[in-house]
């Protein structure tokens, strides 16, 4: 299930529209989502294709396939199938920023970001246990995401900082990324040790 980010909260702050402002993607979450991966903001390729982690060198989809080898992932041409594949496994995807100004795809180039309305997402993923931040820019918002997504009376949520799957994070090998992401999926109960 993908939701319209605009439909999540009618009280969300709307910034003035201008040609330089980029709009992010809707969240991919469902009632079975136990682990929410929060990136920073979609790169140029992802925005152009309106798909999370669309750059062919981004290792997000490859890492997840390595963690669930017994469940073949639909190919890149079947984005809806890939989203369903994630949701079936209890994983959701969104970004910390709803919109921003940026040239290129690097997080360092993000200007005037508007943070997503995390609280509005909580009702759509009642089983949420872990928030995994895909990279350092996303993790800067860990406290705000935890506070907004925690359901009163429920167990505390866990926030994890993961190595970015972006091609810009060339300092981490695929195997190191896979191992770190494995720990996050174990923490959420989505894979066994």
Q: Give the other-Cβ count within 10 Å of 52's Cβ.
A: 27
Instruction: For domain 23-187, say whether CATH 3.40.470.10 is its number.
Output: yes
Question: Structural domain boundaries of the chain?
Answer: 23-187
Res 16: pLDDT: 44
Residue 161 CA to residue 139 CA, distance in Å, equals 6
Residue 2: predicted pLDDT: 55
Segment 175-188, tens digit of pLDDT? 999 999 999 999 99
Cα-based distances in Å from 2 to 8, 11, 19, 164, 185: 11, 20, 26, 23, 21
What residues in the chain have per-residue pLDDT under 50? 4-17
Q: What is the pTM of this model?
A: 0.89
């Amino acid at each position: 299930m993908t939701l319209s980010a605009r439909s999540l909260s009618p009280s969300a702050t709307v910034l003035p529209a201008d040609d330089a402002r980029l709009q992010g993607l809707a969240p991919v979450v469902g009632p079975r989502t136990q682990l929410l991966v929060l990136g920073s903001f979609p790169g140029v390729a992802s925005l152009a294709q309106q798909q999370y982690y669309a750059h062919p060198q981004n290792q997000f989809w490859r890492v997840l396939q390595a963690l669930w080898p017994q469940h073949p992932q639909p190919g890149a041409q079947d984005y809806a199938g890939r989203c369903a594949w994630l949701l079936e496994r209890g994983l959701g995807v969104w970004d910390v920023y709803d919109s921003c100004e940026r040239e290129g795809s690097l997080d360092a180039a993000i200007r005037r970001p508007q943070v997503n309305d995390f609280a509005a997402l909580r009702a759509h993923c009642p089983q949420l246990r872990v928030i995994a931040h895909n990279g350092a820019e996303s993790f800067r918002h860990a406290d705000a995401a935890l506070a907004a997504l925690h359901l009163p009376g429920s167990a505390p949520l866990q926030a994890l900082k993961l190595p970015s799957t972006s091609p810009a994070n060339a300092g981490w090998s695929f195997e190191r990324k896979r191992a770190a992401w494995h720990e996050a999926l174990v923490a959420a109960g989505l894979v066994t040790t």
